[in-house]
Amino acid sequence: MLPCLEDHPEGVIIRLQVQPRSSRNQISGLQGDALKIKLTSPPVDGAANKDCREYLAKLFGTAKTQVVLLSGETSRKKRVLIRGLCFRDIHSILEKILL
């Protein structure tokens, strides 16, 4: 089981460690109990948060409105809720990327 995932009644919570201003958007592995994500956008005016939501929505095949930032709006450490998907589906997608 991945330590970055937490089951929630509405979906799944993912703990993230975000690295802005990267050369491309990508998942780069685990960092402690968080999923490390590199994003191209800078951490200015919410651009990295928006980019993060869009990237995760595309990755999990869901609408951007289903990706909710729970905490960490101004921090590199974030918690996001992916609504409408089950733990098993998200775990499976991330496992394929990380292994």
Enumerate the domain spans of the chain: 5-98
Q: What is the dihedral of CA 15, 18, 24, 27, to 10 degrees?
A: -30
Quick one: tokens of 66? 């289903």
- First-last CA distance in the chain: 12
Of the candidates 38, 42, 41, the residue with the CA atom closest to the CA atom of residue 25: 38
pLDDT per residue over 9-51, tens digit each? 999 999 999 999 999 999 999 999 999 999 999 999 999 999 9
**H-helix segments, 39-86:** 47-60
Q: What is the pTM of this model?
A: 0.95
Q: Which CATH class is domain 5-98?
A: alpha beta
Exposed / middle / buried, residue 78 (Cβ in 10 Å: 0-12, 13-18, 19+): buried
